[in-house]
Chains A and B, each alone.
Chain A
Amino acid sequence: MSPNRIPLPEAPARRPLAVLDVARGEEESQDSHRLSELGVLPGRMVTLIRTSPFGCPLEIEIEGARFAVRRETAMKIFVDAGVAS
């Protein structure tokens, strides 16, 4: 069965989901490298926790710790949302 691949900001909050891949983005962007150093790697779990009162950034949980990331950064993280409900 093929995974239900969606970007993290569109995933339901507070549900740990497996990372499928992290988009590289533009050449100069460091986002995907910094995310990988923090542990956002294919097969690992990430959780969308909440959105800032002004709609951006998002709070996400990686390997037991929480991080504030901007929406466009989180859009590069693709997760498996499982069976669409």
Chain B
Amino acid sequence: MKRVALVGNPNTGKSSLFNRLTGLSQKIANYPGVTVEHHVGRSGSGADGFELVDLPGTYSLVGRSPDERVACDFLEGRTLGGRPDVVCVVIDACQPGRGLFLLSQIVDMGLPAVVALNMVDEAREAGVLPDPARLSRAARGVPVIPTVAVTGEGVDALRSAVIAVLAASETSRARVDADAVPPGEAWRASRRTDPDGKDPSEAANRYAWVRGVLAESGWKPPLGVRPSTERLDAWFLHPVFGFVLFLAVMGAIFQAVFTLAAPLQDAVEGAVAAIGSWCGTVIPEGLLRDITTQAVFPGVGAVVVFLPQILILFLLLGFLEDTGYMTRAAFIVDRPLRAIGLSGRAFIPLMSSFACAVPGIMATRVIEDRRERLITILVSPLMTCSARLPVYTVAIGVLIPEGATVGPFGARGVTLLGLYVGGALFGSLAAFVLGRTVLRGRRDAPILEMPPYRLPEWRAVVTRVWHRGWSFLRRAGTVIFGISVLLWVLSTYPRVDVPAGTPPAVEAAARLHGSFAGMAGRAIEPLIDPLGFDWRVGIGLLASFAAREVFVSTMGVVYAVGAGDAEVTEAQLEGALRTAVHDGTNVPVFGIASLVALLLFYMIAPQCVSTLAVIRREAGGWGWAALAFTYLTVLAYVVAWAGRQIVLAFVG
């Protein structure tokens, strides 16, 4: 199938156009040879259909940032599959200059191009719409199609134009061999003499061409930005209120995530429990029923409960991002982030990491500077992700009695907030230290476009949230499903013979003690004993390295074995943890000191294979993943140990 690449500056509505052109057929693909995913979709049907590849937004194709490099490599055919057959360049109709700059580079590469002159409605309203026909004539005959991606206006015309150019390029390709100057020669020549795009006259020449094209098309520059943007920025970027509003917006997001998600989480929890017990009644007694009711539903259910929270956070962040506010947030926090060696660009990745570090780390691609990007990647796991919440909730539930208060606030909430702040503080400390040791050196200062405020297009926001939610569910359905079953098997086999007549609880304890999981837990017991953990917690810690939230379901399996219940409620689990004692003693396992150690350990430890895998992919090597794993594990151990010692010193 023919391949068409979609390129354009950031904030030109490229993703909306991609959604319009491909409908729901898109998927996320990972081309071999590149470390970055592409959104790929199919546009049109039958023989006319083509594959559309959405490339990252960029201003230039010299390849300074990772995103730019991806676009550049793809267009120059260094990615497997060769060069695209046609490039569709999305240009903002309100300020076409920078888009035409990009077009000139693509034309120089010798690639057939089609221009989507997007957001013509806004340009028309502002009275600055260039005449598409004249623009096309001036720009070396490249077809120019006016579009409004948000409403779908002009999308069919754009598809037809792409198909026409695809057909024409096939016939012209035959002639190319006889041509004296092969296409792309101008680009290759400029890259030979100036590989890094450091010659300022290069940009000046291109802009001279751009101005000529714009003059010929009769384009008049707009008078400043839109008044609505001016009015909103007067508040959101106000020297005093700007920061207050920033705090209010971020506080509101967190508040909304917790309050809006709570009823949905209850509903999901109820549904999982109901299906689980229904399965228990229809599946005949035996291994399959045991696995279903004791492993799959408690394990997967404990994780799926967090889907509402993740979806709501992504929905709100995606909405704010599309309004243009997130760039303002980056503008405001650049200075504070600079103090720890980062910049405003790191804000969106770090903020996303509060939901899940995986999309957060992927969002670091917008950071041009390699060192800053690596630091952001390495500290992202310290932001409190939603997977930690089940562990926090259970441990805090055991640690702090319901109704306890700190001043006017609930003590449980204050503790939870403290863990969020603690993670962020250790993240700042880690960024500061990494920037002065492993990753010291000069940084490239960020240049961020501040797009006009726009009403977000729900379609685009929902599509993104859907993709993220789906990938989370897939993880729950595969990785966590597998781990739940594996853990059940490991904690059930080898079967230990117990004399008949043994009380069920004692029998269960003996069985677990003799199982593979019990052996592994006991093997690491000496290592975790300084933190106050026994071998049962050890099983949970080991299982958590697959994914943190598994700790809760593991504790469910570990302590519910005797009860024989299919579903473990939070209250049951908390009760079980409260009464748990170190083997052969009356010393509780989950005393204040070891609960504090557990919370501190989970606040820092990198217990998530998905995160480590994404670090390897995004940072480009297992070395970085190993560094993240090592420094976070050591830090977690030391902090947890220190926390326990402090509590022991005060409480005894």
Contact = CB atoms under 8 A, between A and B. Distances in A.
Interface stretch (B15-23, B70-78, B219-227): B219-227
Given A53-B243, A65-B449, A29 B444 contact: yes
B97 A63 contact: yes
Nearest to A72: B445
Contacts of A50: 233, 237
Contacts of B238: 53
B303 to A, nearest CB: 38
B347 to A, nearest CB: 12
Interface string A50-85: 111111110101011111111011000000000000
Contacts of A41: 200, 203-204, 207
Tell which of A22, A28, A41, A51 has the most Cβ of chain B within 10 Å.
A41
Interface residues of B, number: 47
B60 interface: yes
A56 B198 contact: no
A68 B327 contact: yes
Contact of A38 (B98, B197, B224): B98
B444 A37 contact: no
Interface stretch (B142-150, B174-182, B332-340): B332-340
A36 interface: yes
**A interface bracket (residues with beta carbon within 8 Å of B):** 35 or more
A66 B225 contact: yes
Contact of A53 (B97, B239, B450): B239
A61 B200 contact: no
Interface in B313-331: 327, 330-331
B439 to A, nearest CB: 16
What does DSSP make chain A's interface, helix, strand, loop or mixed?
A: mixed
A15 B449 CA distance: 19
A35 B197 CA distance: 12
Contacts of A12: none
A55 B335 contact: yes
A36 B60 CA distance: 11
A47 to B, nearest CB: 8
B240 interface: yes
Contact of B64 (A30, A39, A66): A30
A39 B95 CA distance: 12
Contacts of A72: 445
B24 interface: no
A55 to B, nearest CB: 7
B447 interface: yes
Interface in A16-45: 22, 26, 28-39, 41-42, 44
A66 B450 contact: yes
A57 B59 contact: no
A63 B237 contact: no
B94 interface: yes
Contact of A64 (B95, B101, B332, B442): B95
Nearest to B196: A33
A68 B451 CA distance: 10
Given A41-B207, A50-B237, A68 B222 contact: no
B539 to A, nearest CB: 48
B97 A52 contact: no
Contacts of B330: 68
B448 interface: yes
Given A59-B237, A64-B222, A39 B98 contact: yes
B446 interface: yes
A2 to B, nearest CB: 23
Contacts of A68: 327, 330-331, 334, 344, 446-450
A28 B198 CA distance: 10
Contacts of A63: 95, 97-98, 221
Contacts of A36: 200, 203-204
B469 interface: no
Nearest to A34: B447
Given A52-B334, A59-B331, A63-B95, A30 B444 contact: yes
B359 interface: no
Interface in B88-102: 94-95, 97-98, 101
Contacts of B196: 33
Given A52-B335, A53-B242, A59-B331, A37 B101 contact: yes
Contacts of A42: 204
B60 A54 contact: no
A49 to B, nearest CB: 8
A61 to B, nearest CB: 7
27 contacts: A28-B442, A30-B368, A30-B444, A33-B64, A34-B60, A36-B200, A36-B204, A41-B203, A41-B204, A52-B334, A53-B238, A53-B239, A53-B240, A53-B243, A55-B335, A56-B338, A63-B97, A65-B451, A66-B225, A66-B450, A67-B447, A67-B448, A68-B330, A68-B448, A69-B447, A70-B334, A70-B446
Given A52-B335, A53-B243, A68-B327, 18 more contacts: A22-B200, A33-B198, A33-B200, A33-B203, A37-B62, A38-B98, A41-B207, A50-B237, A52-B237, A54-B334, A56-B338, A59-B331, A64-B95, A66-B449, A66-B450, A68-B330, A68-B344, A68-B446
Q: Which 7 A-B pairs have the closest CB atoms?
A: A54-B335, A36-B203, A64-B95, A70-B445, A66-B450, A68-B448, A37-B60
Interface of A: 22, 26, 28-39, 41-42, 44, 50-57, 59, 61, 63-70, 72-73
